[in-house]
Amino acid sequence: MTQRSATKRPWKDTLVDMLVGVDADTIVIGAGAAGLAAARSLAGRSVRVLVLEARDRVGGRVWSRPVARNATPAELGAEFIHGRGELTVQLLREAGAAAIDTEGEGWTCSKDGELRREDWDLSSTAGIFEAAGALPDDESVDRFLRRFERDRATRETARAARAFVEGFDAADPAIASARAIASEMRSGVDFAIARPLGGYGPMFEHLRNACVAAGVRIWLSTIVRRISWRRGAVAIDMSCGGESQTVHARTAILTLPVGVLRRRGDELAVAFDPNLPDAKIKALQSIEMGHVVKVALWFRSAFWERVRDGRYRDAAFFRCERQPFVTNWTQLPVRSTLVVAWVGGPKAVALSGIAEAELIERALNGFGALLNEPELAREEFEGGLTHDWGGDPFARGAYSYVAVGGGNARAALSAPVDDTIFFAGEATSTDDQDGTVNGALETGERAAAEAATALGVEAR
């Protein structure tokens, strides 16, 4: 199988298959981290795999864009490695890349607008959520934190915890489950952060090439419309370039984001015949998609390293709740002229629908104001990129979080349906790696093992 399998009009290259009906043991829907991991794992077991991807690229919610004069690309989607990340690190090594720990100083703006040096201690944020585990009933993060915000002794810690849930989890505190956040904190997945040296691009190119070399067909720009199924048989109606086609398989692995699976009532909604079981529908209703607005800015030079007598030379993160983009970060330990502006949760929702040029302008103005160097920032500015994941029809959000009362929603979402339809993706991670690339990769391998068992294929 050649790389022509990853084309916008795939069935033109598979005429025989088109005449008899495309056949595969497993169809994987989605060519993001989970989908490619599942496809590679199955192909390694000699399973015939077809991957359907709606975008014109692989990677899903990971999107690396090259930036002039920067070794580090602009990552418009996932950028970091959270927690242990063993599978991610392994794949990076296979791709000839490496992971590096994030290093550098944190700076936070005070009430008078001045930046002060501050190392953010997540242990205090985690500590305030310990009590959530003892709640008789689950409640929203908002309700849980309000009791601490009323107490002067814990007010600042509670406010920091609220900002963390909004910014890091991209969640709405009025909806997010306090118990689920507490579990995430106990896992420590948020405490260790690294990044792929040179970005995620090489890893995804390696995964794609490994799949193709193993005989996996990857059809890009192919939109799934309907999934008809019964035990041991799946028929998928899809379209590509205005043409319609139906493909058949014995099993299917769905790696679609929750926001896409929940979509109803328009031409991009995926229909199921028969409908998914009630338990699966309930799980989908209990998992929300967080919202993020992320803008990559690049400059002629890393001018922030020079201002204020080099005060910010080793700055990795800047935080200011009064700015439209609450967090800005550099690429340290890599010296780069690239800065990322970030906001999550309700503040990100408030920016939805704003034109790309305006978002870049606001991010630039905010970073310049943060450093008290608005004119210098504009003089040094060369360009910017952003992507609206909430408005993206193939994502409908950045990454998932559990709503109040969601309890075992992730486990229910990950469960197979009739040993025929299997589910993967960060939202199905049951070990607190939701929202991470590593979590998506691991769920892809898990779903592949489940599908292989259903097919009667031995593990390798």
| Rounded-to-integer distance, Cα 43 and Cα 26, Å | 10
Pinpoint the alpha helices (H) of 103-192: 122-128, 141-149, 155-167, 178-187
* Of residues 84, 458, 22, 3, the one with CA closest to residue 252: 22
Q: Which residue, among 404, 258, 319, 331, has the nearest Cα to 104 in the 3D structure?
A: 331
* E-assigned strand segments in 210-301: 217-219, 223-230, 233-240, 243-254, 271-273, 287-289, 292-299
| Residues forming beta bridges with residue 237, ordered by sequence position | 226, 246
Question: C-alpha angle with apex 393: 87 to 189, nearest 5 degrees?
Answer: 30
Q: Which two tokens stand for residue 92?
A: 């990076």
Using CB atoms within 10 Å of the CB of residue 153, give its burial: 0 to 12 exposed, 13 to 18 middle, 19+ buried.
exposed
Q: Is 53 annotated as a binding residue?
A: yes
Rounded CA separation 222/201 (Å): 22
DSSP 176: B
Which residue is associated with the tokens 């609206």? 388
Integer Cα distance of 51 and 39 in angstroms? 7
At 108, list the tokens: 């936070």
- What is d(CA 152, CA 259) in angstroms, rounded to the nearest whole number? 39
Closest alpha carbon to 245 in 22, 8, 13: 22
Task: Report whether 224 belongs to an annotated binding site.
Answer: yes
Q: CA–CA separation, 427 vs 414, rounded Å?
A: 8
Alpha-carbon distance of 450 to 55, in angstroms, equals 26
Distance separating alpha carbons of residues 27 and 49, to the nearest angstrom: 6
Is 349 annotated as a binding-site member? no
* Residue 113 Rama label (left phi>0; alpha psi -120 to 50; beta): left
**What span, in angstroms and rounded, lies between the C-alpha atoms of 379 and 381?**
6
Amino acid at 120: W
Rg of the chain over all Cα atoms, to the nearest angstrom? 22
Residues contributing to the annotated binding site for FAD = 53-54, 224
Instruction: List the binding residues.
Output: 53-54, 224
